[in-house]
Amino acid sequence: MMSFIFQIPAILGKALWEPIGILFWCGVFWLLWSHRKNWKGPLFFVVSAGLIFAFGWRFFIKLSTARYYLTFLLPALFIIFYFLRRGPWPKKISYVLLLLLFVLCLGKDLRHNEKDRQSGLLYQVIKEDAKNYQKPLMILYGGSASKAPYYTNLPSLKIGHSVLDRELYFESLNRNLNFYHGIVDCIYFCTEFRADEGKLLQRWKSEPRFTELGVNPDNGSSKKRKTVFKYVPSDVRSDDELSSLNVLGNGDFTELMSDREIDDLRNVWKAQLPCTAKEDFAFPQGWSISHSRTTKSDAVAKCIREKEKNVLDIHAEKNFISVITPFFPADKAVALCFSIRALEDSQIDLIAHLQNPKGPKNEFYPFFPIFMPAGAQKNAKIIIPAFPGRSNERIHFWLNRGHVRLSNVSIHPLTMGKSYHE
């Protein structure tokens, strides 16, 4: 409870600009107080209960991007205008207050933030350093980090999903980055750190494999610090040893859905996923598909025959598509092994879909991003963290764009090595 109370100022600051937020809450309390005698009326109950519910529930949900707080803005402006116009002061004073608020907001909008220019200089450092490498890659997460590709003109991989547990995500990145050996020769991480993420920033800095190239001081408008770290992939072998036990069913795709199961799949997606309607469509038993649910998705996921074995052919252009493994136990760290070949430049997010018997039924944790240039192929081993308290999990191979062939998927418990997050 105390930790939640201490988070309230940060939540308010992210939801609304502080002067607007203060005026909004003053307006809410004034409205409730001035109409307290009408508390039995249905209008008072509907308005007050609606405000408390609409704004209160967002304090208890961890949201990663500011756009989810935009629902605060319009009712806040309406209530502030009503409060300043009809508040407990003379009408002439209300006009002065409205004018002051307008000037204050205009000044904030026109204010030049010198630290935005410093961000451009930070990206210039990346661009100059990247001249020393033939195959550089940027991995981006954080809102304003998205400007980096424009300033650097380098290939980039943007984390496509909200990272709710950034510490776990860092550990997963740190554990699995050797995946990129032979694919790229340098990785630049462009990320942001909030004021309350000092420990996480120190964790990045203390990792000897990462080199801090530059940092942009706290941005007064976003309260975040842009930081760039550099990592050079190596072929150093980890000390992880795997059990011969494979806990994933049908990872070689030898068992295919029956005609009846395919008909059921077609009935679920109907016209939204045309690839399922083709006569040659086949898909492995126990696996699932998820997609963008547009009116007519151009994405494709199907099982085909290649070199005397079954492989999953996955293709996404405008709309993402995800193939999903069967469930397996989530309480131990495991190794996800698979073979992948890219026919086009491809971006994939590996996401753990968890079943929580004591909380929300479904939880989603992105744990590793994959970039594969056209022609690249890899026999991969990705360590998946343990998720204590969760009963089962399954893995999404979430293709944001590109064309890949996936095969020989298996999951093995670790018998030796560092089992983090256990």
Express each pLDDT in 32-75 by its tens digit.
777 767 666 666 666 667 666 766 665 555 554 555 566 667 77
Residue 183's pLDDT band, with cuts at 50, 70 and 90, is very high
Co-location of 275 and 377 in the same domain: yes
Last residue of a domain, one of 231, 253, 283: 231
Q: Are residues 247 and 186 in the same domain?
A: no
* Look-up of token digits 């409060």: 83
> Do 351 and 394 fall within a single domain?
yes
Mean pLDDT score, 84-108: 80
204-225 average pLDDT score: 74
Contact in structure between 30 and 87 (CB atoms under 8 Å): yes
Residue 12 clears pLDDT 60, i.e. is over it:
no
Check residue 421 and give its pLDDT.
44
Assigned domain for 115 exists: no
316 located within any domain: yes
Q: How confident is the model at residue 76 (pLDDT cuts 50, 70, 90)?
A: confident
Pick the range with the lowest mean pLDDT from 58-72, 94-108, 229-243, 283-297: 58-72
Sign of torsion over alpha carbons 331, 347, 186, 192:
negative
CATH number of the domain where residue 139 is located: 3.40.190
Distance of CA 396 to the CA centre of its chain: 13
Predicted pLDDT of residue 13: 47
Print the domain residue range for 225.
120-231
Same domain, 169 and 74: no
**What string of DSSP letters covers 133-200?**
-SSEEEEE-SSGGGGHHHHH---EEE--S--S-HHHHHHHHHHHGGGGBTTBSEEEEEEEEETT-HHH
On the CB side of 157, how many CA atoms lie within 13 Å of its CA?
23
Print burial letters for 252-267: b (CB count within 10 Å at least 16), e (below 16). Answer: bbeebbeeeebeebee
Instruction: Say whether both 272 and 410 belong to one domain.
Output: yes
Q: Is residue 421 part of a domain?
A: no
Structure confidence at residue 14 (pLDDT):
52
Instruction: Confirm whether 236 is domain-assigned.
Output: no
pLDDT at 157: 85
347 and 204 inside one domain: no
For the chain, the domain total comes to 3
Mean pLDDT over each residue of the chain, to the nearest integer: 79
Q: How far apart are CA 78 and CA 24, in angstroms?
A: 9
Residue 34 to residue 87: CA distance in whole angstroms: 9
Are residues 394 and 319 both part of a single domain?
yes
53 and 105 share a domain? yes
Are residues 249 and 336 both part of a single domain?
yes
> The whole model's pTM is what?
0.72
What are the Cα distances from residue 402, in Å, to 311, 344, 347, 370, 399?
Answer: 16, 5, 6, 11, 7
